Amino acid sequence: MEEKKPLLELRDIGKIYVSESTVAVGIRGVNLAFERGEFVAVTGQSGSGKSTLLNIISGMDSYEEGELYAEGEPTSHYTQADWEKYREKYISFIFQEYNIIDSFTVLENVELSLMHIRSRTVRRERALELIRRVGLEAHIRQKGSQLSGGQKQRTVIARALAKDSPIILADEPTGNLDSETSKEIIQLLREVSRDKLLIVVTHNFEEVSEYATREVRVFDHAVASDREINPGRNLSKANTDEEDGSASADNEGVQTEKHSTIRNSLALGLTEFKAKPRLSVFICVLLLIASAVLFFMFTTFWSEIRVFFVDENYMFSRVTGRLVVVRSDGAAIGEEELRSLAEKTGAKEYVRFDRAFDMHELGEWRDYYPHYDMRGYSPQDSRPFNATYIDDGAKPDIGRKPENDHEVMLSVPYFMRDMFGVDKIDFTSVSIGQGLSYDVVGIRYYIDSNIQGTMLMTREGFEKASVFSYMMDPQLAVTFGNATRAPLNFDRNLPVGKIYVSSGLEREVPYVIVYRREMNTGITFREDDIVRAPISVESGSFAINPDTVYEDLKAFAQANCRQASLMYSSNSKAAAAAETVKELGYIAALSNATYKIQSYVEIIELIIMGVLYLFMWAMFLIFTSFFIRICTKKSMDAFKSDIAIMRSMGIRVKEIKLSIYIRLYACIIPSVILLPIGAYFLYRTDFGGRHLTFLYWPQYLIIYILLLFVMARVARKHVSNLFSESVRGALKSE
C-alpha cells in the first residue's frame, strides 16, 4: 500500500485581494491538513478570513502563496477547467444563504444534483432516499419558496450529499436560523457526513461544540489555534470501512455516463418550464397570439398572391388528367376521330361533350350569396360551382348520390351549411339556365376553402348538361309566325313530345323553329305538336320538356361543337399526351394550364407586394420577439440566482444555456397544437369559410418555424444577459 496522503493539505497559503485602490489581506501563512471523517469548526471574528479560507479550499478563489494539495497533488498550476474538475470531484457547498431554487420543489432541487444519473427511476429513487435521510419526506412536492429556513437548509444538505463528494464545506450554514433549528442542522450535517471531511465556518462555536472533532480558530487572517476536541466523537475510523464500501459500490452503479448534455438540458428545461407555470403560460399565450396573427397574415397573403397569378387565369376548371382538344382546321371533332385519338394516346376515356366541366352557372346560389360577385375577396369568389361526372368516392353528408340524368349531388363549403341544409336538403334544385333544373339529392360539405364546389352528375346527366349548356350559349329561342321571337324554357314536369305555348300568346301559331345564335337548329314543330299550355307558362314564352328536344340538340352540337376532352389518369400523363395530340395536328390544352402573367407592370407590382409582405413579416417577428423579451425580462432576471446555484452544483453552463432554449421552445407547443384546431373551427364559420384561405401543413410548418425563430431570438438575448456575470458575482449580488 502506498503512503497515505492527507485528503487536503494547505502549506503556507496566502491570499491577497487587490482592487483598484486598496490591497487587502485575505489570509496568510495558513498550514493545515485535513482527513476524512473530521468535523472541523472554523471560528473567528467577522472579517478574519474564514470565508476566504473556505473559498480557497473550494477552488472558487485563487491563492497567491503556498500550495494546496488534494490527496497529495499540488494545485497551484491549475487552470479554470482543472478547478472545475476538482470541484466536481471533491467539493459540496452549503452556504449561509440557502441557495435552493425557490421555484423548484424539494425533489426537483435534489434531483438537480443527481443529473449525472442516467436512469430517471434510479435518479428519483436516490433523490427520495436522500430526502428521507435529511427528514424531508413530508415535503417532497413543496416548492422551495414555501419551506422554512431549516427545511431549506436540509434540502441543501440533501443536495450536497447527492454529489457524494468527500468534502463538504459549509459557510455559516445556520447564520439565519434560530438556535434550536441550528442545532438540528448541525446534528444532521454531522450524521450524514461521518465518512467525509466536513468543514463548517461559524461565528457561534457553541452550536457546533457538541459535534465538532476539531476547532480551527482564525484571527487576523491567520490560524491562531488548531485543536482536537471531542476525540471520542471522531467515529470515522470505526465506520469508514463499511460505509465507504457501500458508498463506492453505490457510486459505480449510479455514476454511469456523465456527459449527456442534451438529456440533462431537456430534463432541466422541462423542470424550469413546470417550475414557473405562470410565466410559462404567459409566454404560451403570447406565442398563441403571435401564431394567430401569423395565421391571418398567411391567409390574406395567400389570397393576395392568388389574385395576381393563379385564380383568375385558369383557362378551364381544373380536372385532373383532363386534356382539351380542338381540331386545328376549326371543324367539329367527330366521335370516331376522338375515340382513335384516345386509343393512340392511352387515354382512360374521352368526353365528346365536356362543356359542363366549365359551366360557370351558379344558378340561384348567386341570389343567396351576392358576395360571390365580389371578385378577389374570398377564395371562393372566383371559384365556380362546376359540374362533373367524376366521383371522388366521398360520401354525401345528407342524402345520396345521383342516380339519373336530372339528379345531382353538391359539394359545397362547410360554412354554407345553413343555406344548403343541416339534416335535410334545403337547397333542392339547381338551375343551369332557361329553367333547366336538376334535383339536389345529396350534399357533401368540405372545409378546404381552396377547392371548388362541384355538382356531381351521372355520366349521362353530365353529357346532357354539356349539350344543353353548349346550346344555351347564349340562349335558345324560338321563332314563329311572322318571324316573331319568343324565349324557350325547359320544364321537366311537362309531357314529352309537345311544345307548350303560354296562354298569353292568343295568336294562331302554325310552326315553331328552335334557334341558337341566329342559327336554325333544324328543330321544327308543326301545328299538331303545339299545345296551349295547360299550366301557367310564363306569358309570351314557350316551354318544353328537355327530353323532347335532347336528341335533336345533340345532333346539332355534334356538328357544331368543336371542343372535346380526353381523360388521363394524371396531369403528367395528360401533359405527355398533349405532345402527341399536337403532333397529330390538333390544338391541345391542359386543364391546369394558366395564362402566364404577361405585363411587366403586373410582375413589378407582384415583386413590390412580395417585398412589402416580407418586410411586414420581418417587422412583426422582430417586434414579437422584442415584446416577449421585454415582458419576460423581470422573471428571467430573477433566474440569475438560480443559475448561480446550478453552476455551483457543477451543472455545466452549456447545459443551463440549452435548458433555457428548451424551456422557451417548449412554450411553442400549445400553439403547434391549438393553431390547426382553432383554424379548423374557424373555417367552419361563415367568416372563416368565406374570407380565409385554407392553409395546408407546409404553411403551418412555416408558421412554426417562424415561432422558433422568434423564441430563438428571445432565448439568445436572455442567455447572453444571464451569463454576463460569473458564478461568484451572481451569488454575491443575491
Residues 6+ apart with CB under 8 A from 332: 558, 559, 560, 561, 562
Answer yes or no whether residue 51 interacts with ligand ADP by CB under 6 A. Answer: yes
Helices (H), 210-334: 236-254, 261-275, 277-309
The amino acid at 531: V
DSSP 695: P
Query: Judged by CB under 6 A, which of 8, 32, 39, 52 binds ligand ADP?
Result: 52
Check: CB of residue 56 under 8 Å from CB of residue 75. no
User: Would you say 51 or 648 has its CB closer to Mg ion?
Assistant: 51
CA distance 361 to 373: 12
26 touches ligand ADP (CB under 6 A): yes
**Three-state SS sequence of 394-432:** CCCCEECCCCCCCEEEEEEEHHHHHHHCCCCCCCCEEEC
Stretch that binds Mg ion, among 49-57, 273-281, 457-465, 589-597 (CB under 5 A): 49-57
* The entry of Mg ion, ligand ADP, none that residue 24 binds, CB within 5 to 8 Å by partner kind: ligand ADP
Q: Least distance (Å) from Mg ion to the CB of residue 145? A: 25
**Region binding ligand ADP by CB under 6 A among candidate stretches 49-57, 112-120, 125-133, 377-385:** 49-57
Decide: residue 395, CB within 10 A, 0-12 exposed, 13-18 middle, 19+ buried.
exposed
Q: How far is the CB of 26 from ligand ADP (least distance, A)?
A: 4
Q: Which of 48, 51, 280, 659 binds Mg ion (CB under 5 A)?
A: 51
SS (H, E, C) 612-647: HHHHHHHHHHHHHHHHHHHHHHHHHHHHHHHHHHHH
688 binds, among Mg ion, ligand ADP, none (CB under 5 to 8 A by kind): none
**608 binds, options ligand ADP, Mg ion, none, Cβ within 5 to 8 A by partner type:** none
Q: Give the range of 4-12, 40-48, 246-254, 608-616 binding ligand ADP by CB under 6 A.
A: 40-48
- Kindly tell me which of 48 and 449 has the beta carbon lying closer to ligand ADP: 48
Residue pair 305/569 in contact by the 8 Å Cβ criterion: no
24 binds ligand ADP (CB under 6 A): yes
Report the nearest approach of ligand ADP to the CB of residue 48 (Å): 4
Within 8 A by CB and 6+ apart from 547, the residues are: 492, 496
Where do we find the cell 471533491? 90
Q: How far is CA 164 from CA 86, 161, 199, 513, in A?
A: 14, 5, 15, 107
- Specify the residue, 497 or 729, whose C-beta has the smaller distance to ligand ADP: 729
For 502, residues 6+ apart whose C-beta sits below 8 A from its C-beta are: 533, 536, 537, 538, 539, 540, 541, 542, 543
Instruction: Select the binding partner of residue 648 from ligand ADP, Mg ion, none (C-beta < 5 to 8 A, by kind).
Output: none
48 touches which of ligand ADP, Mg ion, none (CB within 5 to 8 A by kind)?
Answer: ligand ADP
| Beta bridge mates, 43 | 217
581-592 as b/e, with b when 16 or more CB fall inside 10 Å? Answer: beeeebebbbbb
Shortest distance in whole angstroms from residue 47 CB to Mg ion:
8
Side chain identity at residue 482, one-letter code: N
Segment interacting with Mg ion, rule: CB under 5 A, options 2-10, 46-54, 578-586, 664-672:
46-54
With CB cut-offs between 5 and 8 Å by kind, which of ligand ADP, Mg ion, none does residue 36 bind? none
Q: How far is the CB of 216 from ligand ADP (least distance, A)?
A: 12
Least distance CB 19 / ligand ADP (angstroms): 6
44 binds ligand ADP (CB under 6 A): yes
Neighbour-count burial of 635, counting CB atoms closer than 10 A to its CB (0-12 exposed, 13-18 middle, 19+ buried): middle
Rounded to 5°, the CA angle 555-561-565 comes to 110
Can you tell me which of 5, 31, 47, 371 binds ligand ADP, judged by CB under 6 A? 47
Positions in 416-475 near ligand ADP (CB under 6 A)? none
Scanning 17-25, 222-230, 435-443, 698-706 for contacts with ligand ADP by CB under 6 A, the matching segment is: 17-25
What is the total count of residues that contact Mg ion (CB under 5 A)? 1
- Between residues 48 and 548, which has the closer beta carbon with respect to ligand ADP? 48
With CB under 6 A, what is the number of residues at the site for ligand ADP?
A: 12
- Interface stretch with ligand ADP, choices 18-26, 79-87, 138-146, 147-155 (CB under 6 A): 18-26
C-alpha dihedral, 67 to 68 to 69 to 75, nearest 10°:
-80
SS (H, E, C) 437-484: EEEEEEEEEECCCCCCCEEECCHHHHHHHHHHHHHCCCCEEEEECCCE
To ligand ADP, the closest distance from the beta carbon of 22 in angstroms equals 8
The yes or no reply on residue 19 touching ligand ADP (CB under 6 A) is: yes
Q: Are 606 and 597 in contact (CB under 8 A)?
A: yes
Q: Which helix (H) or strand (E) holds 30?
A: strand 23-34
Q: Tell me how far, at minimum, the Cβ of 242 lies from ligand ADP, in Å.
A: 36
For cell 309566325, the residue is: 481
What does 496 bind: ligand ADP, Mg ion, none (CB cut-off 5 to 8 Å by kind)? none
SS3 104: coil
Question: Smallest distance from the beta carbon of 42 to ligand ADP, in angstroms?
Answer: 8
Return the number of other C-beta atoms located less than 10 Å from residue 459's C-beta: 13
* Residue 26 interacts with, from ligand ADP, Mg ion, none (CB under 5-8 Å by kind): ligand ADP
What minimum distance in Å lies between the beta carbon of 87 and ligand ADP?
19
Residue that the C-alpha cell 466536513 belongs to: 198
In 3D, which of 459, 465, 413 has the Cα closest to residue 437? 465
Cis peptide before 487 (omega within 30 of 0): no
In the list ligand ADP, Mg ion, none, the entry touching 689 (Cβ below 5 to 8 angstroms by class) is none
Among 28, 36, 50, 139, binds ligand ADP (CB under 6 A): 50
Q: Which residue is nearest to Mg ion (CB)?
A: 51
Min dist CB 56 to Mg ion, Å, is: 13
By the rule CB under 6 A, 49 interacts with ligand ADP: yes
Please say which residue, 51 or 541, places its beta carbon nearer to Mg ion: 51
Q: Could you say whether residue 224 binds ligand ADP (CB under 6 A)?
A: no
| Minimum distance, C-beta of residue 173 to Mg ion, in the bound complex (Å) | 12
- Per CB under 6 A, residues contacting ligand ADP are 17, 19, 24, 26, 44, 46-52
- Per CB under 5 A, residues contacting Mg ion are 51
